[in-house]
Structure 1
């Protein structure tokens, strides 16, 4: 059955946007792999959902998770990997940023995504019988857009990691002609991270997870290499500048 069924792996699938995406893919008949830091707190969605441990901060978790998928669950391909797990704590002014906290953000958000790609690459390349195989999609942010004319105090640690992820995704696009890779800005979503941001943006999140998740799934589903790969997209399907 797994050889025929569409399979998506979602990191950070136990809450917020990751959970919303997992629910949406389940409703669409996909096999969902929920990759979470603590499997014991993953809400039950379906008997068909595979829950595996994957802590983005750990160097070996991604490889161990993929080995478990192959050996225990006999997963032979993945059609979509959604790198959603991230951290984003409020930071002080740049002159006062703690380098250890900066490094923690980079390790989780950027290095963790690199390790996820390296671990899942083989399964993505086994995705389809056509020349274009799987899709490696990274949840980014409008904060990664360097051409913007505004700056938000407190988001530098988080924003820098997202700028780096744009570069990583574009690099995958160039190095892997048989894969599709791009970043998505989901918008200002009512998640735990969105609520944190609202404390200093002085405005509540404008989108719900229930509104955003189907739009993201639609965007990923229709994405072609020629039009979408190697770019940053808004959740409504419009391109955003790097």
Structure 2
């Protein structure tokens, strides 16, 4: 067992919010695993374990976990943060390219499912936390709609449901979704084109709040729900 506060695996940790989360967990003394599509572009962070994990690939999550166990001796995970996401096709619904729609689901939703299935065996021994970065824009109770959000938003609706399903099916795990807010990342800048306002939060502001929420989260209060920092 590690003497560090915990072990966290973060997908999409090579830039933006994922990189901010990796840096914040490092500063807090955690052992950090960065699961990224292309390890060659991962910024250098001392002590971070980097593994290849392309969310679009069917077998990458399983292979990444196998590498963690066999090469790095990782036999448990305290937290998995499913942060990697795609959001690059934002037309009105009538103009959505079906192939792009499927691509978004493959990366954002199926990729997260595969991540959960691969990491579940490492989370169960320590009653760990499987946390998904989602968006309050995907909640069906919102009384408004933004043109261009459907490709991305529908994947997040599905992720909210997936997380809730994990909560009910896994009594020894904590699973919930987090809306990080409107953060100044590449995806946030893209969203600003049709939200008509610039991002209101920096990564440096958001990452510590997310880590605080994940660390204090309990099954009774947080699991199965969507939270906003």
1:147 aligns with 2:141: yes
Deviations 1:34-87 (A, max 9, x none): 0000000000111x2100000000000000000000000000100000000000
1:42 aligns with 2:42: yes
Structure 1 pair 27/195, CA: closer, same or farther in 2 (3 Å)? same
Aligned pair partner of 2:151 in 129, 141, 157: 157
Q: Does the Cα contact within 8 Å between 1:93 and 1:153 map onto a contact in 2?
A: yes
Number of matched residues? 229
Taking structure 1 as the reference length, the TM-score comes to 0.93
- Per the TM alignment, residue 164 of structure 1 is displaced from its structure 2 partner at its CA by 0.1
**Alignment match, 1:19:** 19
Structure 1 stretches lacking a partner, 5+ long: 128-132, 236-242
C-alpha separation in 2, matches of 1:182 and 1:144: 14
What's the RMSD between the two structures over aligned residues?
A: 1.0
C-alpha separation in 2, matches of 1:145 and 1:88: 17
- Per the TM alignment, residue 3 of structure 1 is displaced from its structure 2 partner at its CA by 7.1
Aligned pair partner of 1:178 in 172, 179, 184: 172
What's the secondary structure of 1:213's corresponding residue?
Answer: helix
C-alpha separation in 2, matches of 1:142 and 1:226: 21
Q: Does the Cα contact within 8 Å between 2:4 and 2:31 map onto a contact in 1?
A: no
**Alignment match, 1:66:** 65
Structure 2 stretches lacking a partner, 5+ long: none
- Per the TM alignment, residue 4 of structure 1 is displaced from its structure 2 partner at its CA by 6.1
1:10 aligns with 2:13: no
Stretches of 4+ aligned residues off by more than 4 angstroms: none
**Alignment match, 2:94:** 95
What's the secondary structure of 1:34's corresponding residue?
Answer: strand
C-alpha separation in 1, matches of 2:211 and 2:162: 21
Structure 1 pair 111/66, CA: closer, same or farther in 2 (3 Å)? same
**Alignment match, 1:134:** 128
Taking structure 2 as the reference length, the TM-score comes to 0.98
